[in-house]
Amino acid sequence: MACFDFAGRELWSLDVTKVYGDFCFQWTFSSSPVLHSGKVFLQILQRNTPVHGRGKEGAESFLLALDAGTGKEVFRHLRPSQAKNESLESFATPVPLQLNGRVELIVAGGDVLTGHDPESGRERWRWGTWNPGHQEEWWRLVVSPVYGAGRILACGPKNAPIFAVRAGLEGTHEAPDGLAWASTPSKEVPITSDVATPLFYDGRFYIIDHGASRSLSCIDPLNGKVIYTERTGSREKFEASPTGVDGKIYLVNQLGDIFVIRAGDKFELLHQVEMGTSMKNITRSSIAVSQGNLFIRTDTHLHCVGK
């Protein structure tokens, strides 16, 4: 990890694996660092045995906080789990949440959803699980949690349901305790996500199916009612997360095709354009927004779209 000022000067850097040990991940480490209230948060939710020659026996999962100005450790809080093998691994990113004056950090992985005190890392609550009895040993988690309208979404992997947990919990909970609703994925209404994090925008959840239907669903956050599920017409699947801005939902598939959909309770495709160049299905980056511009990374280019 490295920190730079706005002139491009490096302020500090840290080789996380040298300090805290090599990671035990089947694929690669993919959780993004989160900057919040003067700290940089990084979750390392990994299996407890070496994999492909990486890591060590008895490796621990933990939430790490660094001082944003210096890179010095603020805390390292252990986050144990009863998950097994690859199900211990999470590629999700922690999400800050402020509710009724309380700030917490939401972490998903290891078959459970947890809320942490951002000052100490202390676990305030735990909800689980999308993997009853921890029977599935190969359910790595990719999708980050998302908050909206008093609900925290946790997406079970590999065609599992999406679970809406009530925000503001305390202590340890298991379904149905603490659960507002859960989706029932089907071929016709595939309310599930294996890779793309759902979007909360303008009072609705938007969920893009990772599978063959390549459809977008609009969901009422309070009760899980499906407002619509419509096929996008995409020629390749989606792994980038949807982006909401200016009354529109932006999607990008693995070929770099862009879909612009009007936000609201009725599906309306406003625009579609091919921005990939190689026909390789390697576009994974979500569309970013800053200062009135869209930043779109495809297979070979970084595009800035704006006025």
13 pLDDT higher than 90: yes
- Give the pLDDT score at 187: 83
Digit-coded pLDDT (tens) for 50-93: 999 999 999 999 999 999 999 999 999 999 999 999 999 999 99
pTM of the entire predicted model:
0.95
Query: What is the C-alpha end-to-end distance of the chain, expressed in Å?
Result: 33
Going across the sheet that includes 146-148, the strands are 146-148, 151-155, 162-166, 179-182
Amino acid identity, residue 37?
S
CA distance 57 to 47: 9
Angle (nearest 5°) at CA 217 between 110 and 100: 60
- Give the pLDDT score at 139: 97
CB 222 within 8 A of CB 180: yes
CA distance 238 to 210: 6
Alpha carbon 247 to chain centroid distance?
A: 22
Q: What is the DSSP letter of 149?
A: T
Alpha carbon 183 to chain centroid distance?
A: 18
- Give the pLDDT score at 228: 97
Element (H, E) at 18: helix 16-20
CA 64, 67, 71, 75 dihedral sign is negative
Q: Per-residue pLDDT averaged across 16-27, rounded?
A: 94
Best CA proximity match to 230, nearest among 185, 190, 192: 190
Digit-coded pLDDT (tens) for 198-233: 999 999 999 999 888 999 999 999 999 999 999 999
Digit-coded pLDDT (tens) for 105-144: 999 999 999 999 999 999 999 999 999 999 999 999 999 9
Q: Per-residue pLDDT averaged across 95-103, rounded?
A: 94
Element (H, E) at 20: helix 16-20
Question: At 307, is the pLDDT very low, low, confident or very high (cuts 50, 70, 90)?
Answer: confident
Beta partners for residue 112, in sequence order: 109
